[in-house]
Structures are given as C-alpha cells and as structure tokens.
Chain A
Amino acid sequence: MQAEGIDYIRFTIVSPETIKKMSVAKLIVPDTYNEDGYPIDGGLVDQRLGVIDPGLKCKTCGGRAKTCPGHFGHIELVRPVIHPEFAKTIYLLLQSTCNQCHRVLLSEEQIKELKPAIKTYVAGDEEEKETVVPTETQQIQAQVLDEGSKAQLLKKLRSLKKCPHCGAQQAKIKLERPTYFYADGNRIKPDEIRDWLQRISGDDLEPLGMDRTATRPEWLVLTTLMVPPVNVRPSITLESGERSEDDLTHKLVDIMRINQRLEQDIDAGAPQIIIDDLWELLQYQVTTYFNNETPGVPVARHRSTRPLKTLAQRLKGKEGRLRYNLSGKRVNFSARTVISSDASLTINQVGIPRRIAENLSVPFYVTLWNIEAAKELLARKEYPLVVNVISKEGIRKRVADTNREELEKIIAPGFVLERQLVDGDIALFNRQPTLHRLSIMAHQVKVLPGRTMRLHVSVAFPYNADFDGDEMNLHVPQSLEAQAEARYLMQPKDLVLSPRDGRTIMFTEEDEIAGAYFLTKDDAHFSKDEACIMLSNIGITELPKAAKNGMYSGKSIFSMVIPKGMDFDEEYKGNHVVIKDGELKEGIIDARLIGMGGTLIQHVFSEYGSDATMYFILNAAKLSLRVLLMEGVTISIRDYYNSDFVNKERVKIVDEVTQKASMLLEKYKNKQLEALPGYTKKETFETETLVALEEARGMASKTLEKVLDRSNMAYLMVLVHARGSVLNLVQTSMFLGQQAVRGKRPSRGYTARTLPYFKRNEKSPEARGFIRSSFFDGLNPIEFYMHAMGARDSGMTKSLVTAVSGYLQRRLINALQDLYVDDNLSVKDASESLIETIYGGDGIDPMQEQVAKEM
C-alpha cells in the first residue's frame, strides 16, 4: 500500500465502532503471560495483536516477528469514561447546549445568520473563487468564529439563562480538573454526559464548530479503549530470564483490572458508593494512560516509584518521539574525536587516525574499466581492505580471509565493494554549534598515526575551533552524487572568502604573522644555509636570486611563495607593499595582508583561484613559522618595565583625570553643571565623569606608543597585529583604569556606597572603580574588588548575549532556510513566492566577487 502522493490528511475522532472494526481481539484478561511463560489468550500480549518473540507466528496475519506489523485490539469499558484530553471540548459543548432539549443555545434566526459565514470560514482556499464575496455582515460573523471572538460568543452563550428553543432553565456547568463535571454543583457522571452529547443533533454541530461528517460529540466519552499492538510496547527479557513489561502494558493491565472488578461488583449488585469509587478509579487509570502528567492528577508510578511513561510522555518534549526520533536522526559512517593542529596539512585536508579510517567505509562501484583495480583491492590482506561485497542483486557479504578468493572470482561490473577510507577520499567535517555553512566543510582525508583528527590552524577560525580539547565530527558521504556535491560546493579552498562580506576568513594568525614580519622586514637577510632550511621546509628546491653580498633578502625568500607573475600594490598606514611579477619589492607582510580579512590572500584568491590560495596560505604560514623558530620572539618582565618618563607620565595622567573628575564634582555640587538633553543633572555628572576617567587609558596608550619601539617584543607583536593590544600593555605596566558595571561606574553594594571604606554617597574616582595600580604592581584590596565587579559584569553579559543572539540567529535561519537564488538572480522561497527581484540588490555573491574594497 504505497501512496503516490497525499492530497490531504483529515484528523478526526475515532468512534467506538471504528475501534471495534480495527480491533482483532477483545481483551478480557488483565494479565500477560501464564506460568509457562506463554501468552494468555485475551490477555494484553494476545498473539492476535502480533508477535515480537522470534519463532512465534502472529495469529492474525501469520507473519513472524519481522514481518508482522502488529494489530490493534480493544477493551470494552464497563462504564464510560471521559477522554481526559477532550475534557475542555466537552466542557464547551455542555456550556453551549441546552440541558433539556440539547439544542445549541442559539435561536433559529441566529443560526441562519451564522450559516453562510461558517461556510466561507470552513471552505478555505479551495472554493474561494466560487463563493460569492460575503457581505459585510457575514464577514463580521466569520470573524466571530475566529479564535479570539470565539470566546466572546461562548461568553454570551454561557450567560444565557433560558434555552431559546424549549425555554428550559440553564444550569451553570463547572469543570473541575481534570474530568469532573458539575451542573449547579451536582456531579454529572460520564454516562449522563454521554447521553447528553448523544442527543445533540447533527444540524447543531456546525454552529458548534464540529464537522458532522467526521465526528459525533459522544465519542469524546470513551466506551471502548483502543489497545496498541505489542510492537508498540515490547517486553524486554532481562539477563536473568525475567520478563519486564513496557510501561504501557502495565498501565493497560491496571485499566483492565479495575474494569474487571467494576464489572464483578456491578453484577454482584454492590452498593452504589463502591461502584462509584471503582468508576472513579477507572477514570484515573484511563487519564494517566493518556497522559501521566495531567495537571491535578497524582502521577501513576511503577513499583520502583519511577513515574510511568505513558502515551503523551512518549511523544512530548526533547526526548519524545517527535523531537528525538523524527526530527533528530543518527547516522552511520561518522566519527568523532578530539582535534589538534597540523601545520603540514593544507586547509583542504583533514588528518584522520588510522583506527577511524579502518572503521569507516566508502563504496567502490565496480565497472568494466576498474574491475582489475577492484580485484586487486579485494585481494588485499591489510589496511585499505574491502569490508563488504554487495552483489548486483543487493546481497551484502562480509569479506573474511575464508571467502576472499571465492568473492574475487564472482565480482563483475555492477558489484559494489565497500572499502576502508583512504587518502584523498572526501569527508564532511563539522564542529558544533553549526552556526553557518562554514561549520560543515568537505575535507580530503589524510590518514595519519595518532588518535586525534587534525586540521590546519587556518581553518580553525571558520569552525571557531581551538585545540584545548574541542571535539569534531566527521561524516563520509556515500553516494557519488553526495561526494560530487561536497567536492563542488563545500571544500575549504573554495570558501576562503566570507559569504558575509567577501573578506578572507581563512588566514594566518599570531606566530605566523610575527614570523612573516621577521621574514619581510626591510633589513632581513639570511645566509644560504638559512634560506635552504626555510625553503626546503615548504618543498621549494630553488633559491631566489642572492644579493650582492651572497645573502638572501627575506623579501626575496617570501617571494617564493607568491604565485608567479603576480602584481599587487597597496598602501596602508605608511606600509607600502609592492609586488611586481611575483616579487615582493617593497613593504612588510603583516596581518593587514595575510591576517583576518587579509587583502593579499583575497587578491591571490580572486586572481589565481582556490588551489593557489590554498598553497599560498599553507606555504606562507609554514615559512613564517620556520622563520619565527629561527629568530625567536621572547617577551619578559623587562618588556613591562617603565622608564622614568613613563612613570612620571603615569602619575600625571592619573592626576589629570582625577582632577577633571573632582572639578566635575565641584560643578555638580555647586549646581553649575548643565544637564545634557534628555538626562538629569545626576546622570549628566555620572556620564561626564565616566568619560573623563575613561580617557586615562587612551592617554596612557599614546604615551606608550610614543616611548616603545620594535625592540620591545611585546609591543612589536602589537604593531604587526600578531598578538595583544596597546591596552594590554597599558594595563600591565601603567594602570588598569576605570572599571565599569552595566556601562556605568560601580555604585552598588552597601548603602549608598560600594564598600564600607568610603563615605556614603562618595563620588571620588577610587570609590567608584577607578584603578591606579597596574597588573605589574598588583591591585590593593579595594581595587581588586572593583576589578572583580567589572569582570563579573562583563562575564555575565557575554554569556547572556551569546545565548540570546544564538537563539535569535536560529530563528532567523529557520525563517529563511528555504529561500534560494533562482537562475535569473531573483530570490524566491519554497512556494516560489518572489522575495527579491535581484539578490542583495546587486546580484553579487560576496564569496565569488572581490567586493570588500568597494564596501
């Protein structure tokens, strides 16, 4: 029974007759297996409901455990019971129908008026064109049936005292959760409710918002209970041979037990109180069978006091059927381990531990042209092994030493071999959270010793990975289509430019930048030996032209990694970089060129393509690292010693800003301070003081920049953008400066002061988080406390912002996920609605075009 397509799905309520029709067995015994461990006929694991034990045959379809899909059974409830999930619907029905004649509490005229409105409301899109445009009054009435105003209509009905049809007095219906109904304080029992609902005529269902062709209201009160097949609630055989039943089976046993006792008591003519008690108990069991978390109902528990997982619990929530099994799937051909860096891999490769490669397989399609290679592969007795052989008929055989030769004889074009992963295979590499397309990229496999997966440091950035214990996932695409798609669309070498702004997002960092500086600075010269070591390291066996004194300039060595014949010219902040015919003539290579958003990498990519870029990044990084290894960069405490001048400046700066602050305070106290537009005087004073005090850092930065030079390695790293900032230097050697909490000076803690060491309402810089000490000097306790306040605030803000913006982005992605760019560059969504006439207003793909310059 395979449908070609689904036109529509209609959800309705199942009638007791349908349940009986679907059922293959009426269950009567509230038990599972007899003493011999054999399923009891009419019990909850009746063999007509299907079988799960191997060897047994289903009594309905004759199928075995694997072929029998399972069949529904049913239980006849002795007394009707409210379906707990429909209690609210029943409540609405009772409120809007007469308790005597069971008509809707609407007059004939009202119903007539409503009718066309209901029709247009129900008809929907399909008949839209045929229906006459509804009149204004009808439109308003259609709105009555809208969610919001539905409640208003109900309110009206509820307040009705008399039935417009028979004039009977209407009782006030109350619903006590979960399933008790009262009319003017007297309990209405489920059987009475069922009778009531039964008497509502089909004509009246329409104004009540029910579809008379599908549903009868009395079906909301259960008389028969559908019992799911055993496949849905399999029992588990424990190691001890003991059987353990599913929670659902337990619950059903409970229902049947109470049902049976109720029947016996009724037959024996037991007093009404006892029967009512049992009836209520049956209601409880049925309620918890549907949802064991029904509000107002005690949770049904297992013997071990563990709450039972009943129907609703199976579907609900993150671990439920929908989110866990249907939206979330587990996959084969995947691997996960810790990652580490490897400067020798290209950005396009991923290092895979041998053990993982041996465990993953990839299909090898045998054709007329590769059958020899296939046979050779199959004959192998070590590592790149063939794991499985799949015949033309699709029969899969595991390759073992015993059957290898036999299989070798039978393979022919059309067979598929499953061989272990080898170098050059394509694999998808992923790090979570998967925030953008660059979080999953297709790498070429390189099998390596060790237990970690390895990647080049330059691709760590798009993955947002570091190597402090991060783990990543690997997936091996199996079909040729998937492999081709990955190769064409997902290789890192093709994704060097950011889809956001077309700037480079795979680049060199830190040590590599520092190394590039030492290599390309104007006075860098290397001996022939050094040049040979550096170049052979990146696989270049030629030397550049030597200078007159037999030395090799760093620029000429760096030129060896520049694509042949390339021209480039760019000036930024006095560093004029000129590359002519593949020769670095002038300028220093720094982060501006090969770091984040590096223009040189961008240039190579747009002029020479992905492979050239891949090797340029690899070689430039490797070469620079080698230079750094030879040169060495050391920072020591000495780099943070202040000269007398700096120490004098330091005092001067702090004095200056504190003076400014006290002047502001003076002005504020004398009420001379002019309030900024939109702010109170107090606020103005605070912001202006904050601005004045925060200025200290900037002044200190300027002082340091004046004094320090490239002989200071810490400062050198700042200058070439390898690591650190001037602010770091200021804070270590001069002073920390103003701390901020919520963008303001710290002010809370004790009554009107931050700490009890200050006077109340003191507004001096020290009392409000200005720190004069540096990390070098160490902080005094008060300063330490202020610093901790600032640090905690920024830590909390950061974690909050990432959570909020992460969720915001997730929602955006979900909303935009089915948009695509059509071949005429317009943007459409899955329903082919036009979103944009031209992608981005200019039809430019930032990943392809060099647009950053223009922006």
Chain B
Amino acid sequence: MAYNYELIPEHELVSASEAAKIAKKFRTPLEKFPKILESDPQAKKLGASAGRLIAIHREDPTGKYVYYRYVVKS
C-alpha cells in the first residue's frame, strides 16, 4: 500500500475531545462530515476505528488547509 507517496497529504488522527470541538466549530454532527473507510490505507496506518476523525493537512495551489474525514465501517 502506498502509505507515504509524495502526493498523499499528511493524515492525522484527531482525539475524541478535539473532534467534538471541531464538530461544534462546523455546527454539524461528525456523521455529516466527509467519510473515509476504516479499510482505507491511511486510516489503517493511523489505526483509526469507526467513529474517529482524521485531519488531512492539504496543500494545493489554492492554499494550505485542513480537511476532515469521519471514519466509517467498511
């Protein structure tokens, strides 16, 4: 699996308390965040189980920003 390819942005596991704060910030429950499968290589690498939140640190021509994905059962 391509865990560390240069085009894959950095994935980071968010703690549960932090995730709750983020959900509050975006005023929408975590279930309504973009999803990522538990079986996704990046989720596996981080050992993220369903219900956790993954922060993706993206950098593209528009700028640097954080994207979130909610881990779901595959």
Query: Looking across the interface, which residue of chain B has its beta carbon closest to that of A837?
Result: B67
Contact B26 A841 (CB under 8 A): no
Query: Looking across the interface, which residue of chain A has its beta carbon closest to that of B31?
Result: A833
A263 to B62, CA, bound (A): 79
| A60 part of interface (Cβ distance < 8 Å) | no
Determine the chain B residues whose CB is within 8 A of the CB of A841 once the complex forms. 58, 60, 62-63, 65
Partner of A842, one of B26, B34, B65: B65
| A824 part of interface (Cβ distance < 8 Å) | yes
A842 to B60, CA, bound (A): 10
Determine the chain B residues whose CB is within 8 A of the CB of A134 once the complex forms. none
Q: Which residues of A contact B (CB under 8 A)?
A: 822, 824, 826, 828, 831-838, 840-842, 844
Determine the chain A residues whose CB is within 8 A of the CB of B27 once the complex forms. 822, 824, 832
Determine the chain B residues whose CB is within 8 A of the CB of A833 once the complex forms. 28, 32-33
Determine the chain B residues whose CB is within 8 A of the CB of A822 once the complex forms. 26-27
Contact A842 B62 (CB under 8 A): yes
Determine the chain A residues whose CB is within 8 A of the CB of B33 once the complex forms. 833-834
A842 to B63, CA, bound (A): 6
Partner of B34, one of A824, A832, A835, A838: A835
Which are the 10 A-B pairs with shortest beta-carbon distances?
A: A841-B62, A842-B63, A833-B32, A842-B62, A832-B28, A834-B33, A838-B65, A841-B65, A841-B63, A837-B67
Determine the chain B residues whose CB is within 8 A of the CB of A836 once the complex forms. 67
Contact B62 A840 (CB under 8 A): yes
| B2 part of interface (Cβ distance < 8 Å) | no
| B66 part of interface (Cβ distance < 8 Å) | yes
Question: What does the 1/0 interface line of B26-40 toward A look like (CB < 8 Å)?
Answer: 111000111000000
**Nearest CB of chain B from residue A290's CB, rounded to whole Å:** 42
Determine the chain B residues whose CB is within 8 A of the CB of A826 once the complex forms. 26
A836 to B62, CA, bound (A): 13
Q: Find the residue from B34, B62, B66 having the highest chain A CB count within 10 A.
A: B62
**Nearest CB of chain A from residue B61's CB, rounded to whole Å:** 8
Q: Which residues of B contact A (CB under 8 A)?
A: 25-28, 32-34, 58, 60, 62-63, 65-68
Contact B32 A832 (CB under 8 A): yes
Query: Looking across the interface, which residue of chain B has its beta carbon closest to that of A836?
Result: B67
Query: Looking across the interface, which residue of chain B has its beta carbon closest to that of A823?
Result: B27
Contact A824 B26 (CB under 8 A): yes
Determine the chain B residues whose CB is within 8 A of the CB of A828 once the complex forms. 28
**Nearest CB of chain A from residue B5's CB, rounded to whole Å:** 20
Determine the chain A residues whose CB is within 8 A of the CB of B60 once the complex forms. 841
A840 to B60, CA, bound (A): 10
Query: Looking across the interface, which residue of chain A has its beta carbon closest to that of B56?
Result: A837
Can you list 20 A-B pairs, Cβ within 8 angstroms, ordered by A?
A824-B27, A826-B26, A828-B28, A831-B32, A832-B27, A832-B28, A832-B32, A833-B33, A834-B32, A834-B33, A834-B34, A836-B67, A837-B26, A837-B65, A838-B65, A841-B62, A841-B63, A841-B65, A842-B63, A842-B65
A773 to B64, CA, bound (A): 56
Determine the chain B residues whose CB is within 8 A of the CB of A840 once the complex forms. 62
Interface contacts beyond A832-B28, A837-B26: sample of 6 additional A-B pairs, CB < 8 Å, sorted by A: A822-B26, A824-B26, A826-B26, A832-B27, A833-B33, A836-B67
Query: Looking across the interface, which residue of chain B has its beta carbon closest to that of A841?
Result: B62
**Nearest CB of chain A from residue B36's CB, rounded to whole Å:** 13
A844 to B58, CA, bound (A): 16
Determine the chain A residues whose CB is within 8 A of the CB of B67 once the complex forms. 836-837
**Nearest CB of chain A from residue B10's CB, rounded to whole Å:** 15
Query: Looking across the interface, which residue of chain A has its beta carbon closest to that of B30?
Result: A834
Contact A834 B28 (CB under 8 A): yes
Q: Find the residue from A831, A840, A841 having the highest chain B CB count within 10 A.
A: A841
**Nearest CB of chain A from residue B67's CB, rounded to whole Å:** 5
A614 to B73, CA, bound (A): 55
A832 to B31, CA, bound (A): 11
Determine the chain A residues whose CB is within 8 A of the CB of B28 once the complex forms. 828, 832-834
A249 to B60, CA, bound (A): 66
**Nearest CB of chain B from residue A667's CB, rounded to whole Å:** 41
A833 to B70, CA, bound (A): 12
Q: Find the residue from A826, A832, A834, A844 having the highest chain B CB count within 10 A.
A: A834
A844 to B65, CA, bound (A): 13
A833 to B34, CA, bound (A): 8
Query: Looking across the interface, which residue of chain A has its beta carbon closest to that of B69?
Result: A834
A116 to B33, CA, bound (A): 31
A831 to B67, CA, bound (A): 19
A842 to B33, CA, bound (A): 19
Partner of B68, one of A824, A834, A842, A844: A834
**Nearest CB of chain B from residue A853's CB, rounded to whole Å:** 14
**Nearest CB of chain B from residue A582's CB, rounded to whole Å:** 35
Determine the chain B residues whose CB is within 8 A of the CB of A831 once the complex forms. 32
A799 to B65, CA, bound (A): 41
**Nearest CB of chain A from residue B18's CB, rounded to whole Å:** 14
A838 to B27, CA, bound (A): 14
**Nearest CB of chain A from residue B2's CB, rounded to whole Å:** 23
A835 to B62, CA, bound (A): 17
